[in-house]
């Protein structure tokens, strides 16, 4: 198992892509922290991870709140001892098919807060602990909607392109400390998230 002895934080790990990542990390030997705004989902996944014989902590966290993110980092370190891997997976999107002229200011603010600001907050909170040990991995879940500028989801596309740019900046800043930072750009996956959007 390639991640034995490691501790991974997977934001939004209670469902969809995040659940898959959290379970994959556990199967590879990692202990896992699952901060999610939907705490019941996080606790359900935590049960699956415990069944794999790994340590896990699940907690309700609003990743758009600096105070919540700090509390999440503190609780993870208290429960699991450290953080080696951060996966910024939490995200949201407005219903597709809406032209930008129909988007509201609230659409843009909320989409940027959950998809982009949260990545900044979590990276900022976790980075000092990785720098201290001169090792670590940060993986940001962006989207193919960013680089292709998907016409049907303007706020989401722009927010995810922001994640890609932020990833490049943080990667350059943390590389001298032995920390890698990468973004993954999935296409459409048939998760509960997308089924609800398409309904």
Render pLDDT for 184-193 as a digit per residue (tens, 0 to 9).
999 876 666 5
Separation CA 45–CA 99 (nearest Å): 36
Global pTM?
A: 0.92
pLDDT at 171 over 70: yes
Separation CA 36–CA 63 (nearest Å): 8
Active-site annotation, residues: 156
For 72-98, the DSSP string reads: HHHHHHHHHS---EEEE-----PPSS-
CATH C-level class of 7-198: alpha beta
| Torsion (CA) 71, 74, 79, 82 in degrees, nearest 10 | 140
pLDDT at 152 over 80: no
Render pLDDT for 172-182 as a digit per residue (tens, 0 to 9).
999 999 999 99
Q: How far is CA 48 from CA 129, 153, 185, 191, in A?
A: 28, 33, 26, 18
Which sequence spans correspond to the domains of the chain?
7-198
Separation CA 112–CA 107 (nearest Å): 9
Separation CA 19–CA 46 (nearest Å): 10
């Amino acid at each position: 198992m390639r991640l034995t002895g490691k501790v991974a934080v997977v934001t939004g790990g209670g469902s969809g892509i995040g659940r898959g990542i959290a379970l994959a990390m556990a199967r590879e030997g990692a202990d896992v922290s699952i901060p999610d705004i939907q705490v019941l989902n996080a606790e359900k996944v935590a049960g699956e991870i415990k069944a794999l014989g790994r340590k896990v902590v699940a907690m309700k966290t609003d990743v758009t709140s600096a105070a919540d993110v700090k509390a999440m980092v503190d609780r993870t370190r208290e429960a699991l001892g450290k953080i080696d891997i951060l996966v910024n997976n939490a995200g949201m999107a407005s219903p597709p098919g809406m032209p930008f002229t129909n988007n509201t200011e609230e659409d843009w603010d909320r989409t940027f807060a959950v998809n982009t600001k949260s990545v900044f907050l979590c990276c900022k909170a976790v980075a000092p602990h990785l720098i201290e040990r001169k090792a670590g991995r940060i993986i940001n879940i962006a989207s193919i909607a960013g680089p292709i500028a998907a016409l049907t989801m303007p706020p989401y596309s722009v927010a995810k392109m922001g994640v890609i740019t932020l990833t490049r900046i943080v990667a350059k800043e943390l590389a001298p400390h032995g920390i890698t930072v990468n973004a993954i750009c999935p296409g459409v996956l048939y998760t509960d998230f997308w089924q609800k959007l398409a309904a």
